[in-house]
Amino acid sequence: MTPVDSGFYPAARKSVIEMGIVRRRKVDVAKDIPARRIADVPVELEGALGSSVREAERKLVQRLVKRYRSAVAARKDAESIVGVDAAIVRQVCARELRDSDENSTGENVFSMMRRIGQAKAELAADYTAQLSRNAGKVVFFAKHIDVMDAAERVFAKRGIGYSSIRGDQTTRVRQRNIDAFVTDEDVHVIVCSLTAAGVGINLQVSSNVVLAELSWTSAEQTQAIDRVHRIGQDQPVTAWRVIATQTVDARVAELISAKEGLAARALDGADVESASIDLQLETLVSLLTDAL
């Protein structure tokens, strides 16, 4: 697998600076910490899980296309619509999101992303294991507990020492596991929950982060990387995003990069005016537009 540097794309119409978020420009902060880069590690999903992911995506796209055609047919001016109507596409995708959420049953974009995470878990853990042998301690981030569990099984099987940070841990257990990663030479990997370990901890003993799953918010990705990329870090930091090729995972990665591009430009003092990206909506819009 060859890492590919992710690109940054322009986005949004409202300046982050105008929103009052910025306290210090990134160009100034960068003087105090080494460089940071995000690199994508493409993986191909195989086996039953890979097949189920592709089938779920196919069914989702079929449903969106059917809804789009029904919406067009219901319009009084249907005959005058030429090509793909972007407004109708967005209406259909917004309705799909209203009808589904992360806790609903059945196939939707949320369940699909979780299934992709499950399918990538061992591949991401394998990459992390190789990285730990060549580059030292590694911070492994995942969104779902079952993905963390799968990764830990791989590390245990390979004899790689690890600790973990999860939302159900007591403060004492959490700190003990952080200390083990920071000070114990036999603990090479720390397996972290994106939601439980994204803020408030210092893991800069490592300079490599593996993002096994993508989040619906670019902020979670940034906060995870910042556990390592912070003042006091003396090594260049690389965040390795494990991306399932030819799936919706790749689309989400592009959209996150677009949002990161906006934040980077704003923090560097650029005059950025653009609307924020709704990753869930834009992912569906991308799927439906391509299908049409």
- Tell whether the model's pLDDT for residue 258 goes beyond 90: no
pLDDT at 62: 93
CA 227 to chain centre: 16
Residue 170 lies in a domain: no
Integer angstrom CA distances of residue 134 from 64, 126, 127, 137, 138: 45, 13, 11, 9, 10
pLDDT at 8: 34
> How much is the mean pLDDT over the chain?
82
Cβ neighbours of residue 138 closer than 8 Å, sequence gap 6 or more: 128, 131, 132, 188, 189, 190, 206, 208, 209, 210
Question: Is 100 part of any domain?
Answer: yes
Say what the pLDDT of residue 197 is: 77
Q: How many domains does the chain have?
A: 1
The model's confidence at residue 36, banded by pLDDT at 50, 70 and 90, is confident
Sequence-distant (≥ 6) Cβ neighbours of residue 113 within 8 angstroms = 213, 214, 248, 249, 252
* Chain centroid to CA 108: 17
Is the pLDDT at 180 greater than 90? The verdict is: yes
Does residue 52 sit within a domain? yes
Question: For residue 63, what are the domain limits?
Answer: 48-110+277-291
pLDDT of residue 210: 97
Residue 68 lies in a domain: yes
Is the model's pTM score more than 0.85? no
The answer to whether residue 42 sits within a structural domain is no
Distance CA 167, CA 90 (A): 35
Q: Report the percentage of the chain scoring pLDDT > 90.
A: 53
Q: pLDDT grade, residue 271 (50/70/90)?
A: very low
What pLDDT, on a 0 to 100 scale, did the predictor assign at position 286? 93
9 lies in a domain?
no
Asked whether residue 60 is assigned to any structural domain, the reply reads yes
| 37 is a domain residue | no
**pLDDT value at residue 5:** 46
Q: Which of 65-69, 172-176, 227-231 has the lowest mean pLDDT?
A: 227-231
> What per-residue confidence (pLDDT) applies to 272?
41
Question: Is the predicted pLDDT of residue 16 greater than 70, yes or no?
Answer: no
Q: Are 136 and 203 in contact (CB under 8 A)?
A: no
pLDDT in tens, 206-232: 999 999 999 888 888 888 999 988 888
